[in-house]
Chains A and B, each alone.
Chain A
Amino acid sequence: QSALTQPASVSGSPGQSITISCTGTSSDVGGYTYVSWYQQYPGKAPKLMIYDVSERPPGVSYRFSASKSGNTASLTISGLQAEDEADYYCSSYAITNTYVFGTGTKVTVL
């Protein structure tokens, strides 16, 4: 199972919106509504930000939203803040009961 493809880096100014893409295949992202997104600060464990394509867990800011179209999922951060600077990973359930992560995206707040 190959890793899902994400841009290596995305940047934006405070207050702006940015979008991170996550491209897979019909065997993972395109085949299931089981895409999730994780935020990771350096030296820390990942934190769930979005599950089942577009659902936000309790406590996650409304500024984080997500969607999916075909084989590509997307995470949007609106009203970008300094605290959003981190690495972001998508993940998907895949055929044959496996799971795959994205290559990761470093978000920089300018």
Chain B
Amino acid sequence: QVQLVQSGPEVQKPGASVKVSCEASGYMFTNYYMHWVRQAPGQGLEWMGIINPSDGSAAHAQNFQGRVTMTRDTSTSTFYMELSSLSPEDTAVYYCARANRMRTWFDPWGQGTLVTVSS
């Protein structure tokens, strides 16, 4: 079955960067785009961006332009999301979520990675 397994929790200082991984299994890696979504404590879901695993091209939400980098490693079937210039407002659970073929919904989701930004 399709599985997305994310890396463990992170604690970072303001101004630092964080890199979250998402290992995919159970399907052909290059056939499905991957989304990244975050959720601040007690808040709603926020779409961050999407990456094409075939060529590594990505599109980001305007809120994260210039701060987020999405990459993938086809040899290990792993996606990465790196967020730079962290501030306490970036404290959130970060999810990867596979897109369907038409890229119109999100399913399944990884278990989430808590990133805490604190001095």
Contacts and interface: CB of A to CB of B under 8 A. Distances in A.
A64 interface: no
Contact of A47 (B37, B104, B109): B109
Contacts of B37: 101
A104 B45 contact: yes
A39 B45 CA distance: 12
Nearest to A105: B44
A23 interface: no
Interface in A24-49: 32, 34, 36, 38, 45-48
Interface stretch (A9-17, A66-74, A77-85, A92-100): A92-100
A101 B61 contact: no
A97 B50 CA distance: 10
B11 interface: no
Interface residues of A, number: 24
Given A51-B100, A93-B104, A99 B111 contact: no
Residue among B45, B46, B111 with max Cβ neighbours from chain A (10 Å): B45
B94 to A, nearest CB: 11
Contacts of B46: 101
A46 B106 contact: yes
B29 interface: no
Given A45-B111, A45-B112, A102 B44 contact: yes
B16 interface: no
B27 interface: no
Residue among B47, B59, B100 with max Cβ neighbours from chain A (10 Å): B47
A91 B44 contact: no
Interface of B: 35, 37, 44-47, 50, 59, 61-62, 95, 97, 100, 102-112
